[in-house]
Amino acid sequence: MTTHEDTVYEEIPADEQSPGLHPDLGDGDRDPYATTEGDREGGARVLNATGGDWADLVDEATSLNEERVVINMGPQHPSTHGVLRLILELDGETVTEARAGIGYLHTGIEKNMEYRTWVQGVTFCTRMDYLTPMFQETTYCLGIERLLGIEDQIPERATIIRVLMMELTRISSHLICLGTGGMELGATTVMTVGFRERERILRIIESVTGLRMNNAYIRPGGVAQDLPHGCLDLVNDTVGELRTGIHELELLLNENPILKGRTKNVGYLDLAGCMALGITGPILRSTGLPHDLRKSQPYCGYETYDFDVVTRTGADAYDRIRIRLDEMYQSLRIIEQCVERLKKVTGPVMVEDKKIAWPAQLSVGSDGQGNSLDHIREIMATSMESLIHHFKLVTEGFRVPAGQAYVPIESPKGELGAHVVSDGGTRPFRAHFRDPSFNNLQAVAALSEGGQVADVIVAVASIDPVMGGVDR
């Protein structure tokens, strides 16, 4: 038996292996991952892996006769933001060691995308971080558009709509972060206000995409459909309501002595620590570094919008709360600019190249499938070639030239990027996402060790991880 870090591998002798693994049986019954190389008896060598971290820690503490306690927080604990397992070693109420155990929510999204067309991949990646769907869709589509060489052909109206939807989603994500964080600290009013304001945003998103979440709205080449009639007026009205609601959160949080007592100097991580761990987003900006990809590496025309990068210097959980509150105001500024531009800019919302634009006419029919009934009648009645092309585009998909691309964007949690690789076919050869929750979760130990057990809740809430993005 050999041990590597937290995993115990137990070698099974050939004569004790299950019959299904015996080398004399047919290929259909053999373990395809077993190997006969280096095995003196000629049998397949099989290793069983079992988690050994819990037993090892307990045995170590027992052997040293120390009064240490090792506890599990999660993976079902509501304060761990989903199925995250935290292994805490305690000395009284002080956390001496903290480790994160991930993987419990693994969905295989990235692998599944290799078996779907490029457009169908949008439906998968939107479900990763379920609080920031528009951002996953955008970075994925920007990567595809770079491989296709059509970045300069995206209609201006489509790009503005993308920015509008992303900033609405940014506010929605921050509201969930503050609302759930307040609930975990015992402030249920913060949660009810946060969710109330989020509902206003979800009403807009639903009116545009037809769905509250998992939208699959941003597509390679543009967006699925134009804004519905009256949407801009709805956005204008909602912006005023959101300002009032965010201010209400400020009154509840900013100078609250209980909140300050729980968050000031808690979860401290300085600039050097952030750089060492690859931490981005509000955690990094709480150290005073104004790093925001919308400014430093603009995309979707962000360089043409007027807004500020919010920073603070406390590098603790309290400053991350304040940063998210101020960022929502900046997002409202961008949304107002988008509305003004959309009133002036008309035209298509998808590239003109009919070999890429899908569906061909971007309006939802009575079947909800995104095809204009008039267009279907036209191609079925007048052009067999158009009908064949439409059928192939939807079922087979378009081809993307061989190559790879990575286009990072600034999500509410930090740098989010999609590394898309094409072999020239109609499906991704590889699609891998740099999700900020995954990287930022590395900071759990640095934020928690040396503090109290109750401070672990504050530290995790200030990271704002979503396990859908971590275990994608």
Confidence class of residue 321 from pLDDT cuts 50, 70 and 90?
Answer: very high
Q: Give me the percent of the chain exceeding a pLDDT of 90.
A: 44
155, 326, 368, 379 from 359: Cα distances, Å: 16, 39, 12, 13
Amino acid at 111: K
What is the β-pairing status of strands 7-12 and 2-4? Answer: antiparallel
List the structure tokens of 436: 């900020």
Burial of 267 by CB count in 10 Å (0-12 exposed, 13-18 middle, 19+ buried)? buried
If you average pLDDT over residues 292-306, what whole number do you get?
92
Confidence class of residue 32 from pLDDT cuts 50, 70 and 90?
Answer: low
Q: Specify the range with the lowest mean pLDDT, choosing from 161-175, 339-353, 381-395.
A: 381-395
Q: What is the DSSP string of 161-188?
A: HHHHHHHHHHHHHHHHHHHHHHHHTT-H
pLDDT at 308: 92
Asked whether the predicted pLDDT for residue 319 surpasses 60, the reply is yes
pLDDT at 246: 93
If you average pLDDT over residues 273-302, what whole number do you get?
92
Task: Give the three-state DSSP class for 336.
Answer: helix
Q: Where in the chain is the domain with CATH 1.10.645.10?
A: 113-358+397-467
pLDDT at 294: 92
Q: Specify the range with the lowest mean pLDDT, choosing from 76-85, 90-99, 101-110, 261-270.
A: 76-85
Asked whether the predicted pLDDT for residue 7 surpasses 50, the reply is no
CB 107 within 8 A of CB 472: yes
What whole-number distance in Å separates Cα of residue 267 and Cα of residue 289?
17
Confidence class of residue 69 from pLDDT cuts 50, 70 and 90?
Answer: confident
Q: What is the DSSP string of 415-456?
A: EEEEEEEE-SSSS-SEEEEE-HHHHHGGGHHHHHTTSBHHHH
Confidence class of residue 5 from pLDDT cuts 50, 70 and 90?
Answer: very low
pLDDT at 105: 83
Smallest Cα–Cα separation from 133: which of 88, 191, 176, 103?
Answer: 176
pLDDT at 410: 93
What whole-number distance in Å separates Cα of residue 303 and Cα of residue 67?
57
Asked whether the predicted pLDDT for residue 304 surpasses 60, the reply is yes
Amino acid at 36: T
Q: Could you count the other beta carbons within 10 Å of the beta carbon of residue 176?
A: 21
pLDDT at 21: 40
Asked whether the predicted pLDDT for residue 429 surpasses 70, the reply is yes
pLDDT tens-place string over residues 361-378: 545 555 555 556 666 676
pTM for the model stands at 0.81
Tell which wins on pLDDT, 377 or 169. 169
Task: Give the three-state DSSP class for 149.
Answer: coil
Burial of 92 by CB count in 10 Å (0-12 exposed, 13-18 middle, 19+ buried)? exposed
Asked whether the predicted pLDDT for residue 16 surpasses 70, the reply is no
Smallest Cα–Cα separation from 358: which of 398, 400, 401?
Answer: 398
CB 290 within 8 A of CB 311: yes
pLDDT at 38: 44
pLDDT at 249: 92
pLDDT tens-place string over residues 34-44: 544 444 444 55
Q: What is the DSSP string of 208-235?
A: HHS-SSS---EETTEESSPPPTTHHHHH
Asked whether the predicted pLDDT for residue 152 surpasses 80, the reply is yes
pLDDT at 356: 83
If you average pLDDT over residues 282-289, what whole number do you get?
92
Confidence class of residue 79 from pLDDT cuts 50, 70 and 90?
Answer: low
Whole-number mean pLDDT of the chain? 83
- Dump strand ranges (E) for 279-413: 403-411
Instruction: State the fold for domain 113-358+397-467.
Output: Cytochrome-c3 Hydrogenase; chain B (1.10.645)
Asked whether the predicted pLDDT for residue 2 surpasses 70, the reply is no
Residue partners of 357: CB distance under 8 A and separation at least 6: 221, 222, 350, 351
Asked whether the predicted pLDDT for residue 24 surpasses 80, the reply is no
Confidence class of residue 329 from pLDDT cuts 50, 70 and 90?
Answer: very high
Amino acid at 394: V
Confidence class of residue 146 from pLDDT cuts 50, 70 and 90?
Answer: very high
Asked whether the predicted pLDDT for residue 211 surpasses 50, the reply is yes
Q: Specify the range with the lowest mean pLDDT, choosing from 332-336, 405-409, 467-471.
A: 467-471
Asked whether the predicted pLDDT for residue 97 surpasses 70, the reply is yes
If you average pLDDT over residues 59-69, what whole number do you get?
69
pLDDT at 52: 58
